[in-house]
């Protein structure tokens, strides 16, 4: 009979310890340890398992003898989701989708279930069958082979899935399923870890792919412990908040493809619509005769996106100048303001500065820097940029304008969107790009100031 034992787990990284600790030695988090009861196998059980494992049928195989190239990815019939997965679902893979409540995880997976070509088992511990049906009625798809199952015991779910042999198993969500081998409540670290481990074993043994929904913790990590991300094959995260136009699906880990991918969706009355032309939508309200607004040519994932950046620079109202950003790193904006002050003698130190990247996307591509600088100067001097101009370069601390990757791709997109001019770094290599767009090369911030505002 297995022994019951109390252990303590860090709710941030999953580190476990026999004693309660104030600070986690692994991740440095304070006050993150929670108590959980787990069953430890006895010495006899361990010996029995060892004996079993020496009798396993599987044998090591030469790498050259392993057949490759026959893994066919299954098309999910959702182009944005396929893109994030690297082309489709690999048989036997376990995919974890994380995101804040209300972002659209259940909607996306139900939509995929209803559009998928094959048998689906949708396990929900969050909603009743009626609630799921109500949601399904809003979606413009139907699948006669989609089964709903409101069960939370993982062994029951897996034995049912073993009998049904679905083409895809969906678990909504990992925090609601429980394993009877563990005494802690649903959603606790040891439950989440155990259930994910069972799902992973099931997927590998049967070849049935599994998509797991995981809630996000306050600090933004999926399901709390990072170790969950180590168990599964693919981790994707839903970003954006409920007030924004777009919902972004970003790959964080992918054992079968690149993590450099991004899917873009828009929540509508009939579910999540795929957005294949984000640039047009992100610029639809752009007015080139107003100061403080510019267009940045950025690359998110693999594709170029043209996005409007807005700055508002006003005289400081309180003693300390206010700085506020939306979609861009606050510290990076402070750095850019300091560079502008030092290199171009612009009086940002006495101004309140607000920055907004339209559409609620969080931009990490430094190629947006030049557009931000142009928007800041444009607002400070109240001069509108005027024509259809795009910017794509990074700013360095000495005021130098640095080149960014995939510049050709950005220029080709500028052409497609009907831009007349693009400002890039002098060091960018653009040989061989046939375009009608005028390319302006800048080496220092002072050049930008002279050429546009001088
Ligand atoms: P949901 O998918 O339940 O989010 P999660 O599973 O991530 O918690 O809910 C998404 C939100 O989207 C919810 O507030 C209702 C809304 N919604 C729509 O706007 N249109 C739709 O067609 C559907 C199904 C939901
Ligand atoms: Mg949900």
306-323 tens-digit pLDDT:
999 999 999 988 888 999
Mind listing the pLDDT tens digit for each residue in 136-167?
Answer: 999 999 999 999 999 999 999 999 999 999 99
Q: Nearest-CA neighbor of 6 among 145, 184, 254, 217?
A: 184
Which atom of ligand 1 is nearest to 271's Cα? 22
Alpha helices in 328-418 (DSSP H): 330-344, 369-381, 407-416
Instruction: Out of 134-138, 361-365, 367-371, pick the least confident.
Output: 361-365
Distance between terminal CA atoms of the chain?
82
- pLDDT reported for residue 45: 66
More confident residue, 257 or 95: 95
Please tell me the predicted confidence (pLDDT) of residue 222. Answer: 53
- In the predicted structure, residue 68 carries a pLDDT above the cut 80: no
The string of pLDDT tens digits covering residues 176-191 is 999 988 888 888 888 8
Is the pLDDT reported for residue 10 higher than 70?
yes
pLDDT tens sequence across 389-432: 999 999 999 999 999 999 998 999 999 899 999 999 999 988 87
CA of 161 to the centre of ligand 1 (A): 26
Q: CA 324, CA 356: separation in Å to the nearest integer? A: 8
* Mean residue pLDDT across the chain: 88
The predicted structure's pLDDT at residue 224: 52
Quick check: 293 pLDDT over 60?
yes
Q: Does residue 173 have a cis peptide bond before it, meaning omega lies within 30 degrees of 0?
A: yes
Which numbered ligand comes closest to the C-alpha of 124?
A: 2
Calpha distance 414→307 (Å, rounded) = 11
Angle at the Cα of 286 from the Cα atoms of 281 and 287, rounded to 5 degrees: 155
Question: 12 vs 443, which has greater pLDDT?
Answer: 443
Distance 389 CA to ligand 1 centre (A): 37
- How far, in Å, from the CA of 14 to the mean position of ligand 2? 24
CA angle 55, 56, 59 (to 5 degrees): 120
Beta strands in 188-233 (DSSP E): 210-215
Atom of ligand 1 nearest to the CA of 172: 6
DSSP string, 64-119: GGS--S--PPBP-S-HHHHHHHTSSBPTT-EEEEEE-TTSSHHHHHHHHHHHSSS-
Position 79 pLDDT exceeds 70: yes
Nearest protein CA to atom 12 of ligand 1, as residue: 104
For residue 430, CA distances in Å to 401, 407, 411, 424, 435 come to 16, 7, 9, 10, 11
Task: Tell me if 102 CB under 6 Å of ligand 1.
Answer: yes
Work out whether strand 234-239 and strand 210-215 pair parallel, antiparallel, or are unpaired. unpaired
Strand order, beta sheet including 246-254: 146-149, 120-124, 168-172, 210-215, 94-99, 234-239, 246-254, 262-268, 271-274
Q: Say if residues 21 and 13 touch (Cβ distance below 8 Å).
A: no
| Residue of 97, 99, 104 to test ligand 1 pocket, by largest number of atoms within 8 Å of CB | 104
The pLDDT of residue 225 is above 90: no
* Local confidence band at 49 (pLDDT 50, 70, 90 cut-offs): low
More confident residue, 229 or 274: 274
Query: Which are the contacts of 283, defined by CB distance < 8 A and separation ≥ 6?
Result: 295, 306, 307, 308, 417
Orientation angle between helical segments 154-164 and 189-206, nearest 10 degrees: 10
Q: What is the pLDDT of residue 120?
A: 96
pLDDT band of 60, cuts 50, 70, 90 = confident
Find all residues with CB under 8 Å of 61, minimum gap 6, and list them.
none
Band of pLDDT at residue 2, cut at 50, 70 and 90: low
388 lines ligand 1 (CB under 6 A): no
Domains in the chain (CATH in brackets) are: 1-46 (no CATH), 74-275 (3.40.50.300), 280-453 (3.30.230.10)
- Higher-confidence residue of 259 and 440: namely 440
**Torsions phi, psi for 215 (to 5 deg):** -75, 160
Task: Please give the pLDDT value at position 182.
Answer: 83
pLDDT at 300: 86
Predicted confidence (pLDDT) at residue 40 exceeds the cutoff of 80: no
Query: What is the rounded CA–CA span in Å between residue 168 and residue 432?
Result: 45
Task: Please indicate whether residue 270, judged by its CB atom, sits closer than 6 Å to ligand 1.
Answer: yes
> Does the beta carbon of 269 sit less than 6 angstroms from any atom of ligand 1?
yes
The predicted pLDDT at position 219 comes to: 59
């Amino acid at each position: 009979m297995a022994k019951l034992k109390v252990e303590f787990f860090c709710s941030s990284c999953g580190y476990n310890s026999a004693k309660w600790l104030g600070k986690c030695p692994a991740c440095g988090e304070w006050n993150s340890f929670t108590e959980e009861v787990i069953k430890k196998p006895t010495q006899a059980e361990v010996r029995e398992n060892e004996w079993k494992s020496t009798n396993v049928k599987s044998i090591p195989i030469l790498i050259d003898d392993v057949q490759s190239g026959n893994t066919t990815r299954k098309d999910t019939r959702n182009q944005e989701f396929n893109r994030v997965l690297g082309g489709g679902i690999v048989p036997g893979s376990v995919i974890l989708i994380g995101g804040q409540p209300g972002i659209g995880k259940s909607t996306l997976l139900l939509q995929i279930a209803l559009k998928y070509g094959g048998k689906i088992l949708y396990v929900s511990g969050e909603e009743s069958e009626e609630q799921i049906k109500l949601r399904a009625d809003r979606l413009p798809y139907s699948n006669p082979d989609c089964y709903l199952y409101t069960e939370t015991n993982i062994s029951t779910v897996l034995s049912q899935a073993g009998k049904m042999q679905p083409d895809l198993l969906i678990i909504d969500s990992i925090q609601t399923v429980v394993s009877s081998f563990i005494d802690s409540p649903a959603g606790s670290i040891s439950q989440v870890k155990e259930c994910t481990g069972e799902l992973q074993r099931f997927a590998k043994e049967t070849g049935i792919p599994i998509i797991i929904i995981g809630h996000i913790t306050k600090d933004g990590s999926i399901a709390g412990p990072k170790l969950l991300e180590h168990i599964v094959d693919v981790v994707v995260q839903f970003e954006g908040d409920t007030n924004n136009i777009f919902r972004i699906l970003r790959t964080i880990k992918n054992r079968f493809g690149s993590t450099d991918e991004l899917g873009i969706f828009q929540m509508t009355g009939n579910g999540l619509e795929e957005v294949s032309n984000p640039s047009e939508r992100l610029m639809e309200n752009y007015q080139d005769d107003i100061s403080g607004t510019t267009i940045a040519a950025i690359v998110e994932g693999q594709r170029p996106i043209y996005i409007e950046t807005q700055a508002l620079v006003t005289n400081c109202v309180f003693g300390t100048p206010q700085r506020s950003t939306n979609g861009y790193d606050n510290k990076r904006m402070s750095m850019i303001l300091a560079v502008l002050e030092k290199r171009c003698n612009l009086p940002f130190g006495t101004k309140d500065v607000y920055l907004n990247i339209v559409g609620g996307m969080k931009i990490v591509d430094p190629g947006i820097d030049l557009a931000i600088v142009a928007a800041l100067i444009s607002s400070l001097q109240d001069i509108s940029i005027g024509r259809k101009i795009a910017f794509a370069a990074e700013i360095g601390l000495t005021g130098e304008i640095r080149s960014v990757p995939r510049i050709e791709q950005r220029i080709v997109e500028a052409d497609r969107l009907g831009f007349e001019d693009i400002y890039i770094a002098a060091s960018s290599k653009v040989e061989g790009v046939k375009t009608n767009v005028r390319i302006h090369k800048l080496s220092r911030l002072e050049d930008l100031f002279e050429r546009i505002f001088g």
